[in-house]
C-alpha cells in the first residue's frame, strides 16, 4: 500500500489549508518542508555568487553542484555536466531553439504536435520562421486525444531535423510513447526534443532508455521551486552556438546558463529530489540513488493509477460530463491522472468557481495547450476544467470531488 499520509505530513500546505483539495498541481505542485528549509538555509548561510575563492561562494558552488548531480540522477542523465538550469522550461526552450535555428536552412523541416503545450510548439515555430525552415504537424486521434503515429510516419523524411513532442499532455493526460517516437525520428535522421514538464511528477524519466537528444522540465511541477531544467546530449551542448556573454565560461553547462542563476531555488531543487529519494527508501527499496528514485516514481505511478481509475469511473456514473482524453479505465497505463472535462450548459470557469467555493482548487481554460483546444473545438467555449491528481491526493478527496461535481449547477 502506498503511504500517502507519510507524503502529506511533509507538505505544510495541507496543514495550512486542511479543508483544501489541491487539484491544481499541473500548474504547479505544493512543496515539502525540506524544500522551503533548503531555500532559507541557502539565503541565510551561503548567499553568494558563483566562482569566488571565499567561504560563502565555495559553499554555494558545492550546493549548486549537488543540485546538478541530483537532477542528473532523477533524469538518468549520463553526466551532471549536461544539466542546465534556467527560469522555466519555456525560457530554456526558447533559448535552445534560438541556437538550433542557426543550424537550420531553408528546406529543413521541424515536426511538432497538436497535443503539446505551446512551450514546446511556439519556440520551434519561431526557430523555423527565423531559418526559413518548414513546420509539419502530428495530428491527434479523437476523442481520446492520442497522437496519430501514422501522421508522424507520413511527416518524417530525409529533410526532418527535429521532432518536438511531449512526454504527457498537460491538458488531456495522454502519455506518449516517446521511446517509440524517438526510434522513428532517429531512423529518419532527425533529433528529438522532449517536453517532460507534465510527466515529471507522475513517472520515472530515463533519457538514456528513451534515447532522446534533449529534454526539458520544470522543478515546480515535481514538488520543487519555480525553476526550469534542460538536459541535452553533451555533444549538442558543446557544438550548438550558445548565446552568451563574452566573459562567461565556454564550458558546459556554464555556456548555457546566462547570467547569475536563482541559486536559492536550485538548492530547493536538490531538496525536492531528496524528498523523492527518501520516498523511494520508504517503499522499502534499497540500492543506489538512481534506482531509489525510479522506485519512488514507480510507486507514485501505481498509486496515481488507482486515483485516476476512481475519478474516471465516478465521472462516468455522473453521465453529464464529457471527458477529453482517454476515458477507458482499461487504458490507464496510457495516461496520467490529469482529467479534463466539460459540462453542457455551463463554462469551465463557472465550474472552477463552484469548486473553489467548496475549497477545491482546479484550473480552467486551455492550459496553454491552445492547438489542442482549437482542434477539439473548445477554444471559443472557454476551454475545459482540468482536475489534476497527484500522489499527495487521497481517495477520500476524490470522493469529495465527485460529490461536488454531482452538485454542480
Reported as a single tens digit per residue, the pLDDT across 170-183 is 999 999 999 999 99
Residue 40 pLDDT: 98
The mean pLDDT value for 111-137 works out to 98
Query: What dihedral do alpha carbons 356, 373, 92, 187 form, nearest 10°?
Result: 140
Strands (E), 15-142: 21-22, 83-86, 109-113, 134-138, 140-141
Averaged pLDDT, 194-214: 98
What stretch of H or E contains 191? strand 191-195
Average pLDDT over residues 400-408: 97
Which residue from 293, 291, 250, 263 is spatially nearest to 275, judged by alpha carbons? 293
SS3 state of residue 169: coil
Domain boundaries, the chain: 4-32+290-406, 37-274
List the Cα angle 295/299/305 in 5-degree steps. 145
Task: Name the CATH code of domain 37-274 (choices 3.40.640.10, 3.40.50.720, 3.30.2350.10, 3.10.580.10).
Answer: 3.40.640.10
Query: What is the pTM for the complete model shown?
Result: 0.97
Instruction: Name the pLDDT band for 70 (thresholds 50, 70, 90).
Output: very high
In the predicted structure, residue 120 carries a pLDDT above the cut 80: yes
Model pLDDT for residues 287-318, shown as the tens digit of each residue: 999 999 999 999 999 999 999 999 999 999 99
Q: Give per-residue burial for 192-223: e unless 16+ CB within 10 Å, then b.
A: bbbbbbbbbbbbbbbbeebebbbbbbbbbbbb
Q: What percent of the chain has pLDDT over 70?
A: 100
In DSSP terms, which residues pair with 384 in a beta bridge? 365
Give the β-pairing of 140-141 and 134-138: unpaired
Say which CATH class 4-32+290-406 falls into: alpha beta
Distance CA(170)–CA(282), nearest Å, equals 29
Average confidence (pLDDT) over 97-113: 98
Is the pLDDT score of 409 beyond 80?
no
Mean pLDDT, to the nearest integer, of 382-395?
98
- The pLDDT value recorded for residue 223 is 98
Query: Is the pLDDT confidence value at 83 over 90?
Result: yes
pLDDT at 35 over 90: yes
Please report which confidence band the pLDDT of residue 406 belongs to, taking 50, 70 and 90 as the band edges: very high
| pLDDT mean over 330-352 | 97
Nine-digit cell at 170?
A: 498537460
Average pLDDT over residues 145-154: 95
pLDDT(186) > 80: yes
Specify the pLDDT at position 285.
Answer: 92
Pairing of strands 140-141, 146-147: antiparallel
pLDDT for residue 343 is more than 80: yes
Task: Name the band, by pLDDT with cuts 50, 70 and 90, for residue 27.
Answer: very high
Q: What is the pLDDT of residues 261-291, one digit of tens each?
A: 999 999 999 999 999 999 999 999 989 999 9
As a whole number, the mean pLDDT across the chain is 97
Handedness of CA 179, 183, 185, 189 (dihedral sign): positive
Give the three-class secondary structure for 345. coil
Does the structure show a pLDDT above 90 at 402? yes
Identify the pLDDT of residue 55.
98
pLDDT of residue 254: 94
How many residues are recorded in the chain?
409
pLDDT at position 247 is 87
Predicted confidence (pLDDT) at residue 79 exceeds the cutoff of 80: yes
Q: Where are the beta strands (DSSP E) in 47-150?
A: 83-86, 109-113, 134-138, 140-141, 146-147
Q: What percent of the chain has pLDDT above 90?
A: 98
Q: Give strand pairing partners of 91.
A: none
The CA-CA-CA angle for residues 179, 231, 106, to 5°, reads 80
Q: Does position 113 have pLDDT exceeding 80, yes or no?
A: yes
DSSP element (H, E) containing 69: helix 55-75
Contact 227, 85 (CB under 8 A): yes
Query: Residue 48 and residue 55: Cα distance in Å, rounded?
Result: 9
- The neighbour count for residue 105, using CB atoms within 10 Å, is 10
Give yes or no on whether 4-32+290-406 and 37-274 have one common fold.
no
Amino acid at each position: 500500500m502506498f503511504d500517502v499520509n507519510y507524503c502529506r505530513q511533509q507538505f505544510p500546505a495541507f496543514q495550512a489549508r486542511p479543508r483544501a483539495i489541491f487539484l491544481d498541481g499541473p500548474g504547479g505542485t505544493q512543496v515539502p518542508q525540506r524544500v522551503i528549509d533548503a531555500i532559507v538555509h541557502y539565503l541565510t548561510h551561503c548567499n553568494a555568487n558563483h566562482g569566488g575563492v571565499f567561504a560563502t561562494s565555495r559553499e554555494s558552488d558545492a550546493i549548486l553542484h549537488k543540485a546538478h548531480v541530483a537532477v542528473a540522477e532523477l533524469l538518468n542523465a549520463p553526466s551532471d555536466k549536461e544539466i542546465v538550469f534556467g527560469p522555466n522550461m519555456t525560457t530554456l526552450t526558447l533559448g535552445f531553439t534560438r541556437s538550433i535555428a542557426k543550424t537550420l536552412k531553408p528546406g529543413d523541416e521541424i515536426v511538432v504536435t497538436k497535443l503539446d503545450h505551446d512551450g514546446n510548439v511556439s519556440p520551434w515555430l519561431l526557430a523555423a520562421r527565423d531559418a526559413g525552415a518548414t513546420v509539419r504537424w502530428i495530428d491527434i486521434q479523437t476523442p481520446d486525444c492520442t497522437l496519430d503515429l501514422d501522421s508522424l510516419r507520413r511527416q518524417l523524411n530525409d529533410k526532418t531535423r527535429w521532432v518536438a513532442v511531449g512526454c504527457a499532455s498537460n491538458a488531456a493526460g495522454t502519455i506518449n510513447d516517446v521511446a517509440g517516437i524517438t526510434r522513428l525520428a532517429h531512423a529518419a535522421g532527425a533529433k528529438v526534443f522532449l517536453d517532460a514538464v507534465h510527466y515529471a511528477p507522475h513517472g520515472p524519466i530515463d533519457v538514456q532508455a528513451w534515447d532522446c537528444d534533449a529534454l526539458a522540465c520544470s522543478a515546480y511541477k515535481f514538488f520543487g521551486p519555480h525553476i526550469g531544467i534542460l538536459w541535452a546530449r553533451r555533444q549538442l551542448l558543446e557544438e550548438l552556438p550558445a548565446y552568451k556573454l563574452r566573459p562567461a565560461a565556454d564550458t558546459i553547462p556554464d555556456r548555457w546558463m546566462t547570467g547569475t542563476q536563482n541559486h536559492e531555488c536550485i538548492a530547493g531543487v536538490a531538496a525536492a529530489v531528496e524528498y523523492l529519494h527518501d520516498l523511494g527508501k520508504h517503499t522499502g527499496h534499497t540500492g543506489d540513488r538512481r534506482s531509489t528514485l525510479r522506485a519512488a516514481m514507480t510507486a507514485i505511478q501505481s498509486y496515481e493509477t488507482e486515483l485516476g481509475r476512481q475519478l474516471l469511473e465516478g465521472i462516468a456514473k455522473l453521465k453529464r460530463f464529457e471527458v477529453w482524453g482517454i476515458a477507458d479505465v482499461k487504458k490507464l497505463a496510457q495516461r496520467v491522472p490529469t482529467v479534463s472535462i466539460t459540462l453542457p450548459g455551463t463554462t469551465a470557469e463557472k465550474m472552477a468557481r463552484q469548486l473553489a467555493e467548496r475549497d477545491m482548487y482546479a484550473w480552467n481554460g486551455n492550459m496553454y495547450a491552445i492547438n489542442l483546444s482549437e482542434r477539439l473545438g473548445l477554444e471559443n467555449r472557454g476551454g475545459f476544467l482540468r482536475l489534476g491528481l497527484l500522489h499527495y491526493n487521497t481517495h477520500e478527496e476524490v470522493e469529495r470531488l465527485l460529490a461536488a461535481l454531482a452538485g454542480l449547477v
